[in-house]
Amino acid sequence: MAFNRKDSYYKQAKREGKRSRAIYKIEEIDQRFRILKRGQKILELGAAPGGWMEYIAQRVGTSGTVLGLDLLTISKLQSPPCRTLVADILAPDTGTRIDNLVSPPFDGVVSDLAPNLTGIKATDQANSIAMLETATRLGLERLRNGGFLICKVFQGSELKQFQLQMKNHFQKITLAKPKASRKTSSEIYLVATAYTGNTSLQ
Ligand SMILES: C[S@@+](CC[C@H](N)C(=O)[O-])C[C@H]1O[C@@H](n2cnc3c(N)ncnc32)[C@H](O)[C@@H]1O
């Protein structure tokens, strides 16, 4: 279904000089769950062009850290707290590269990753699942006990299974569809808090 790319959130982002309309999604999630705090160390997977990073940076302040990773270069952000890494989450050395830049554990892992679509449904679904599994593994291996995960998921067969898996690792799991997320999009955000430290992903 066609959507209006230049909707009210797009226009608001332009007006307010934000990097992307995506910023309003993390803002709404944060306001609802009161999750981001001063001094926190946050890892963002799929962070370009840096809209979420700008918001998170302002919430964690200069005593905190936000490491944003993406295939694409993220143009300069306030440092501290921002650090960036050009990397493919599917590459085998990405975990080591993260650790060399910012030593774990992180207080929170956020992922707004969206795979590049091929248009072939079965391929897109398989890529999306592979990306979600890898992102979750990378994130949870670096998350402190009690930490949180905010993660974009696509509604469909993978969601239920993913929710069940995450229930083994967090005390509380909620699904959120922020107003800035297009109604026509199947994306939804899983907000998981109070990590129990069980990294044996099934
Ligand atoms: C929706 S955008 C993120 C928007 C960002 N949260 C913001 O607020 O500006 C999704 C990102 O996932 C990244 N991505 C897709 N596949 C990736 C991969 N294999 N490794 C790293 N990043 C990837 C894309 O390059 C894209 O920038």
C-beta of 22 in contact with ligand 1 (< 6 A): yes
Q: Which of 14, 18, 71 to mutate to test the pocket of ligand 1 (most atoms within 8 A of CB)?
A: 71
Query: Distance between CA atoms of 29 and 51, rounded to whole angstroms?
Result: 14
| Section 101-120 average pLDDT | 92
Give the percent of the chain with pLDDT over 90. Answer: 68
| Section 80-90 average pLDDT | 97
By DSSP bridging, strand 106-111 and strand 187-195 are unpaired
| Section 54-79 average pLDDT | 97
Q: What domains, with CATH codes, occur in the chain?
A: 35-47+63-195 (3.40.50.150)
- Of the chain, the end-to-end C-alpha distance in Å amounts to 35
CA 144–ligand 1 middle distance (angstroms): 24
What tokens were used for 59? 């919430």
What tokens were used for 18? 């934000």
Q: Residue 36: pLDDT above 80?
A: yes
- Of the two residues 200 and 159, the one the predictor is more confident about is 159
| Catalytic residue flag (residue 152) | yes
| Section 146-160 average pLDDT | 89
Q: Which of 10, 85, 112 to mutate to test the pocket of ligand 1 (most atoms within 8 A of CB)?
A: 112
Tell me which residue has its CA closest to atom 11 in ligand 1: 46
The residues near 188 (Cβ < 8 Å, ≥ 6 apart) are: 152, 153, 154, 155, 159, 175, 176, 177, 181
Catalytic residue, from 18, 76, 152, 177: name it: 152
**DSSP code, position 39:** T
Asked if residue 187 lies in contact with residue 150, where contact means CB atoms within 8 angstroms, the answer is no
198: confidence class by pLDDT, cuts 50, 70, 90: low
